């Protein structure tokens, strides 16, 4: 009996010990969970059910130089409905409210659903179990503009808000460009499938996003379906704003550049092209246009598909001859531009390769001035061989002194490094023909922007400026950072070299390959370029393709803007730089000249020359005061007659010059208004009881009623005007004029 009792006690004690151990383990585990690992499991719980997310900031704007919006973010709203919201009571979700909400949604938000369909849908949502997937986050509308968002939040039920009405509004931002494709590639983008960020949007992404540590946060609740919904109204949280980027782009010049470039690409059926306008003194990019052939909806068209201006490294062709001639000038050669140089009829053989001039001329020799102006390949190569054949490294060193081997360092990404061969580097495969071909723009690679930077330095008296696209960043109008003009090199060449280079560039437009763009309104200086893009030492392959270009600046005597135009693979209407690219340059320059007052010479800059007798005003009539003030303002001497009347004064020419004479003007008679302007004629006639109806413009030429006729009793009188216009849209005639009817 005792043994049985002991056995039972042992078992009881054993069980008690096990229970005690388990209890201790449980207590220890509870201590670990609640005290030691509490932070870990709280974070785990939050990640499963509630999480705190950062409200993205409003992306900053990209602005033109004058403040015009190039890119901005507009708010749009996605609307969802929480059918199981805790505060959505049956009193709120009543039949009348649901009917009204259904009708409003069908009328103002989405007309493809009838009010009945909406009503049936809401009843289904309300009656469904909470476990149904997505029941708490039902999409109502997407991408609503702000005006529609303000409207929908006033609808029945929705007006009760997030908790009582189940109304969930999430704000999203969409990038919009008010000027559409204007400077599209330069502005760029950050979010495009399969593509890296490009342009200003990509380079200044961090600044535009406004990433900071103090951004507002929003609690999100996890609901069935692995969906997080905002606990509060996300649309009511004011997002932070990124900084604005103010560019150097001029909207009007950009538009002129894109329009002229697009027209040229379409006219010549070119593959692509680019145009850049730079401010000479500062390096500010005023326009950067890129046009490329694109396939849209099965039809060929043009779009800004790539930033050729910055990223396309090409052989510049004859534009590069400026650097070759400047290298010779820096070396102390080319003292006399009128020196004759053999050009061998425009064809010469260098080793086993034949070099020819682009345009046949048959001349045996040309002056140095003609070689540059007419863009002779043979003449340029002959001169380079004469001075640098035995020391090609000296020629390459001159190019490096011009900074042609360095990138510009512009803010936007994608700039290719220039490629200038080095005769001392075996990898560059320098040969006996490299030097002459390099002198005319082959066997080296430059981007259009790099070529323009060099030309801009010549226009700027040798000072090379870094091209830049952004002048400052702002936050709500407050300047955060400014970018100032930066000098890359104070002088790329001697003053004498720069002066002579400018002389040669002007000659190209006066008598050379670009004389077709000469204008008397302002001076243009520049150089044409025509390059083969699929050559091997000018041995044409099947299907020759060309690149037409022009680079220069204007006004040549006091440069304000430099500009380059490059058009690749034109297929019709010519392929030379003079006929394809130079006219684009001229159109851009004309627009700039018309729009920019700083390009115009002040009318009083020079002392006026005395007018010839035939240029003097004659037979003008009007009031004494007006005549005297006009003549004095024009600086014309005149002999006033004695006792001039206030009205009826005429200007006459005689052997002594100009004189002012009286004309009789009676109070009750029809006066002579010949020679007067319309304003003065009407004033005199209406003061004498005449009612005037006028057609035409200019001075009065004749009148039907003789001067002195009494101004009473007549039916009408007639006065004719110069430069009159015809009725019904007919063209005006120099020999005929219409009438001004006079009725007493």
pLDDT exceeds cutoff 70 at 535: no
- pLDDT-derived band at 241 (thresholds 50, 70, 90) equals confident
pLDDT exceeds cutoff 80 at 721: no
Which residue in 508, 290, 499, 326 sits closest to 402, CA to CA? 326
CA–CA gap between residue 336 and residue 171 (Å, rounded): 71
The whole-number pLDDT of residue 51 equals 62
- pLDDT-derived band at 612 (thresholds 50, 70, 90) equals low
pLDDT exceeds cutoff 80 at 620: no
Which tops the pLDDT comparison, 653 or 667?
667
Q: Are 280 and 561 contacting, i.e. CB atoms less than 8 angstroms apart? A: yes
Q: In this predicted structure, which of 9-23, 153-167, 431-445, 517-531 has the lowest mean pLDDT?
A: 9-23
Q: Are 648 and 673 contacting, i.e. CB atoms less than 8 angstroms apart? A: no
CA–CA gap between residue 293 and residue 308 (Å, rounded): 12
- pLDDT-derived band at 215 (thresholds 50, 70, 90) equals low
Q: What's the chain's Rg over C-alpha atoms?
A: 41
CA–CA gap between residue 696 and residue 31 (Å, rounded): 103
- pLDDT-derived band at 539 (thresholds 50, 70, 90) equals very low
Mean pLDDT score across all residues of the chain: 82
Residue-wise pLDDT for 55-70, tens only, equals 666 788 899 998 888 8
Query: Could you tell me what percent of the chain has a pLDDT over 70?
Result: 79
Q: Are 461 and 259 contacting, i.e. CB atoms less than 8 angstroms apart? A: no
Residue-wise pLDDT for 635-659, tens only, equals 777 776 566 777 767 776 665 667 7
CA–CA gap between residue 518 and residue 555 (Å, rounded): 12
Q: What are the b/e assignments for 428-456, b being 16+ CB within 10 Å?
A: bebeebbbbbbbbbbbbbbbbbbbbbbbb
Which residue in 358, 363, 366, 368 sits closest to 345, CA to CA? 363
Which residue in 333, 336, 354, 337 sits closest to 345, CA to CA? 354
Structure tokens at 369: 């001035």
The whole-number pLDDT of residue 717 equals 52
pLDDT average, residue stretch 725-736: 40
Which tops the pLDDT comparison, 163 or 462?
462
The strand ranges marked E within 346-496 are 347-350, 353-356, 365-367, 419-420, 444-445, 464-465, 470-475, 478-482, 487-489
Give the number of C-alpha atoms closer than 13 A to the C-alpha of residue 378, restricted to the C-beta side.
24
Which of 176-190, 230-244, 420-434, 496-510 ranks highest by mean pLDDT?
496-510
Q: Are 441 and 320 contacting, i.e. CB atoms less than 8 angstroms apart? A: yes
Residue-wise pLDDT for 396-426, tens only, equals 999 999 999 999 999 998 899 999 999 999 9
Whose tokens are 């009792």? That residue is 5
pLDDT average, residue stretch 417-441: 93
Helix 448-459 to helix 321-330 angle (10° resolution) is: 40
The residues, any chain, with a CB within 8 Å of residue 17's CB and separated by 6 or more, are none
Query: Could you tell me what percent of the chain has a pLDDT over 90?
Result: 39
The whole-number pLDDT of residue 735 equals 38
Q: Are 528 and 576 contacting, i.e. CB atoms less than 8 angstroms apart? A: yes
Which residue in 369, 399, 400, 368 sits closest to 383, CA to CA? 368
Other residues' Cβ atoms within 10 Å of the Cβ of residue 523: 17
pLDDT average, residue stretch 117-129: 80
CA–CA gap between residue 321 and residue 440 (Å, rounded): 5
Phi, psi of 350 (to 5 degrees): -115, 110
The whole-number pLDDT of residue 648 equals 66
- pLDDT-derived band at 138 (thresholds 50, 70, 90) equals confident
Q: Long-range contact list for 13-22, CB < 8 A, 24+ apart?
A: none
Q: Are 279 and 408 contacting, i.e. CB atoms less than 8 angstroms apart? A: no
| Topology alike, domains 55-245 and 261-597 | no
pLDDT average, residue stretch 214-225: 61
Write down the domain spans for the chain.
Answer: 2-51, 55-245, 261-597, 613-743
Q: Which fold has domain 261-597?
A: Beta-lactamase (3.40.710)
The strand ranges marked E within 44-104 are 50-54, 62-63, 69-81
pLDDT average, residue stretch 351-375: 89
Phi, psi of 257 (to 5 degrees): -65, -45
pLDDT exceeds cutoff 60 at 743: no
Which residue in 450, 453, 456, 408 sits closest to 553, CA to CA? 456
Which tops the pLDDT comparison, 729 or 358?
358
Q: Are 561 and 286 contacting, i.e. CB atoms less than 8 angstroms apart? A: yes
- pLDDT-derived band at 211 (thresholds 50, 70, 90) equals low
The three-state secondary structure class of 647 is coil
Q: In this predicted structure, which of 243-247, 430-434, 640-644 has the lowest mean pLDDT?
A: 640-644
The whole-number pLDDT of residue 297 equals 52
Q: Which fold has domain 55-245?
A: Penicillin-binding protein 2a (Domain 2) (3.90.1310)
pLDDT average, residue stretch 282-303: 82
Structure tokens at 27: 């207590």
The whole-number pLDDT of residue 541 equals 46
Q: How far are the Cα atoms of 387, 457, 615 from residue 333, in angstroms, in the given order?
A: 8, 21, 50
pLDDT exceeds cutoff 70 at 186: yes
pLDDT exceeds cutoff 70 at 481: yes
Which tops the pLDDT comparison, 225 or 145?
145
Structure tokens at 362: 């048959």
Q: In this predicted structure, which of 155-159, 598-602, 646-650, 739-743 has the lowest mean pLDDT?
A: 739-743
pLDDT average, residue stretch 511-518: 95
């Amino acid at each position: 009996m005792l043994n049985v009792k002991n056995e039972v006690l042992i078992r009881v004690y054993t069980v008690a010990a096990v229970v005690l151990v388990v209890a201790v383990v449980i207590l220890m585990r509870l201590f670990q969970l609640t005290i030691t690992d509490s932070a870990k499991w709280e974070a785990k719980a939050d990640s499963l059910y509630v999480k705190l997310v950062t409200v993205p900031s409003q992306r900053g704007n990209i602005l033109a130089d004058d403040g015009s919006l190039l890119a901005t973010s507009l708010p749009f709203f996605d609307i969802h409905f929480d059918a199981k919201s805790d505060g959505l009571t049956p009193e709120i979700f009543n039949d009348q409210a649901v009917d009204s909400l259904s009708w409003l949604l069908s009328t103002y938000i989405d007309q493809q659903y009838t009010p009945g369909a909406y009503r049936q849908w809401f009843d289904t949502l309300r009656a469904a179990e909470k476990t149904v997937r997505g029941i708490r986050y039902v999409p109502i509308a997407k991408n609503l503009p702000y005006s529609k968002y303000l409207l929908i939040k006033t609808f029945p039920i929705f007006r009760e808000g997030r908790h009582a009405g189940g109304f969930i509004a999430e704000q999203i931002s969409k990038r919009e460009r008010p000027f559409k494709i204007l400077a599209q590639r330069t502005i760029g983008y950050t979010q495009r499938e399969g593509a890296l960020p490009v342009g200003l949007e990509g380079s200044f992404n961090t600044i535009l996003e406004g990433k900071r540590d103090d951004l507002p946060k929003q609690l999100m609740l996890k609901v069935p379906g692995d969906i997080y919904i905002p606990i509060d109204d996300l649309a009511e949280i004011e997002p932070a704003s990124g900084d604005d980027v103010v560019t150097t782009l001029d909207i009007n010049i950009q538009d002129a550049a894109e329009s002229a470039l697009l027209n040229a690409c379409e006219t010549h059926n070119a593959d692509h092209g680019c145009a850049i306008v730079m401010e000479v003194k500062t390096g500010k990019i005023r326009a950067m246009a890129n046009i490329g052939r694109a396939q849209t909806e099965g039809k060929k068209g043009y779009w800004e598909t790539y930033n050729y201006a910055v990223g396309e490294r090409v052989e510049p062709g004859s534009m590069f001859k400026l650097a070759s001639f400047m290298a010779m000038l820096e070396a102390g050669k080319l003292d006399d531009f009128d020196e004759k140089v053999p050009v061998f009829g425009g064809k010469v053989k260098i080793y086993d390769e034949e070099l020819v001039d682009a345009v046949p001329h048959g001349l045996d020799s040309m002056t140095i001035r003609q070689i540059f102006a007419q863009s002779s390949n043979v003449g340029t190569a002959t001169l380079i061989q004469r001075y640098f054949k035995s020391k090609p490294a000296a020629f390459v060193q001159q190019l490096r002194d011009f900074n042609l081997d360095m990138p510009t360092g512009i803010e936007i990404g994608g700039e290719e490094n220039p490629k200038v061969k080095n005769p001392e580097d075996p990898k560059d495969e320098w040969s006996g023909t490299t030097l002459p071909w390099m002198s005319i723009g082959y066997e080296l690679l430059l981007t259009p922007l790099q070529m323009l930077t060099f030309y801009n330095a010549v226009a700027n008296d040798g000072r090379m400026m870094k091209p830049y696209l952004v002048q400052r960043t702002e936050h709500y109008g407050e300047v955060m950072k400014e970018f100032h003009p930066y000098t890359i090199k104070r002088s790329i060449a001697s003053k004498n070299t720069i002066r002579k280079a400018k002389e040669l560039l002007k000659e190209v437009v006066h008598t050379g390959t670009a004389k077709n763009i000469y204008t008397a309104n302002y001076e243009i200086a520049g150089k044409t370029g025509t390059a083969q893009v699929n050559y091997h030492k000018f041995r044409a392959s099947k299907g020759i393709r060309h690149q037409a270009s022009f680079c220069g600046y204007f006004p040549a005597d006091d440069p304000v803007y430099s500009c380059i135009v490059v058009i690749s693979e034109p297929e019709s209407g010519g392929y030379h730089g003079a006929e394809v690219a130079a006219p684009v340059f001229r159109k851009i320059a004309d627009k700039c000249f018309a729009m920019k007052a700083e390009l115009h010479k002040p009318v009083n800059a020079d002392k006026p020359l005395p007018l010839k007798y035939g240029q003097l005003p004659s037979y003008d009539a009007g009031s004494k005061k007006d005549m005297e003030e006009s003549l004095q303002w024009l600086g014309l001497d005149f002999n006033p007659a004695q006792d001039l009347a206030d009205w009826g004064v005429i200007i006459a020419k005689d052997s002594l010059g100009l004189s002012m004479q009286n004309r009789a003007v009676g109070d009750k008679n029809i006066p002579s208004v010949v020679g007067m302007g319309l304003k003065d004629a009407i004033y005199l006639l209406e003061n004498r009881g005449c009612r005037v109806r006028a057609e035409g413009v200019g001075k009065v030429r004749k009148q039907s009623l003789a001067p002195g006729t009494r101004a009473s009793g007549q039916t009408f009188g007639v006065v004719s005007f110069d430069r009159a216009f015809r009725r019904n849209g007919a063209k005006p005639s120099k020999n005929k004029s219409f009438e001004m009817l006079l009725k007493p």
